[in-house]
Amino acid sequence: MMGSTTLEPRLIPLAPHRTDDPEARQSRKLALMSALSDGLPTLPAYVFQLNSLLAATPVNLKRVAEVIRTDPSLAAQVLRLCNSAFMGFRDRVNKIEHAVMLVGTERLRTMVLTCSLVEYVGHRVASEDVQSFWQHCFLTAALSERLARGISYSHPEEAYLAGLLHDIGALPLLVVNSAELSNPESVASCGWGESIELERKRFGMDHCEVGHWIGISWNFSPTLLEVMVRHHNPLQAIEDPQLVGVVAAADQFCVRRGIVLGAEPPELTEPTDNQDQGIFLACLPQLKPPEAEKLAEMIETDFLHLIQLMEFGASGLFGGGIPQNPFRE
């Protein structure tokens, strides 16, 4: 692993993969291209601004509330979440500033991006796939930001956003896959979940390529585009190797613990080897072994805390996952 420029494929021990004929693969590829041409949601203009505001210390709640009010839909979603049974507050929340404080920055940062994307997925994808997708993306985002701060990366808030978006190309794959089935079916039963090789066999392209297309349509910066394309090959990064390496390391950290698309929530166990240190050294070659070891210990502690925050399978960050729209009662 240390000497390779490509990280190990993210294979999931699921049902055997069904060989797809070229005609079916081409049909899926055309469906993907159609979705990328005219079927994707528009990324709200405030996403980057709110991400920076919510990453600041201390958070300027007044300014955050002002930005949220520019989008009535987002403002309604924030208030709806605060007043839902999931949050469990006795008194009704009517002020955006109060709602922002109660929801919390981690949950709000994720909500800002997912509102429009959840509408895109809708009822067309198996709920367990959507839930596992966002669990993986949220944890990758949170750990990316922590890793970025650990190596003194200059823009840790960008690391959070990059981690949250790194697998965004998987959403259209999920939609196309479900559309082919008579009933929305978990990707676990199809066998291709988050394996680059099997994605290409099934769809004629992989989530990194699809993510790149999405990033271009949303006018992402060259550094974010590079994360979409290179997070499985961080040593090939040119624009910002540190950012790609940070996201790749956080991604692989989660994968090693079974937090991947189509997988059941993992049983948490103590690490028994130094593979995490190897992941960080492979993705961030500027690190020295003692630095990588220290980072591995820090990220393991943060990971356990975040897992408790999310409460897999219970109410958690998204109120029991995201079966359709997590912010509607």
User: How confident is the model at residue 287, as a pLDDT?
Assistant: 95
pLDDT at site 223: 94
310 touches 317 (CB < 8 A): yes
Tell the residue number behind the tokens 């499985």, with chain if given: 232
pLDDT of residue 230: 95
How buried is residue 61: exposed, middle or buried, by Cβ count under 10 Å (0-12/13-18/19+)? middle
Mind listing the pLDDT tens digit for each residue in 96-140? 888 888 877 777 877 777 766 766 676 677 777 777 888 888 899
Provide the pLDDT for residue 118: 65
Q: Give the position of tokens 């007043």.
A: 83
Note the pLDDT of residue 237. Answer: 96
**Please, which residues have CB within 8 angstroms of residue 13's CB and are 6 or more apart in sequence?**
none
- pLDDT at residue number 328: 31
pLDDT the model gives residue 39: 66
Specify the pLDDT at position 182: 55
Say which residue the tokens 């271009």 belong to.
216
CA distances from 270 to 116, 168, 292, 297, 301 (A): 37, 30, 18, 11, 11
Contact between 242 and 234 (Cβ < 8 Å): no
- The crossing angle, in degrees rounded to 10, of helices 170-180 and 196-203 is 50
Q: How far is CA 137 from CA 131, 141, 165, 170, in A?
A: 10, 6, 7, 11
Query: Which regions of the chain are under pLDDT 70?
Result: 1-20, 38-41, 84-88, 115-116, 118-120, 122-123, 181-194, 262-273, 309-329
Looking at residue 185, what is its pLDDT?
55
Name all domains of the chain by residue range, CATH numbers in brackets: 1-39+123-319 (1.10.3210), 43-121 (no CATH)
Asked whether the whole model's pTM tops 0.85, one would answer no
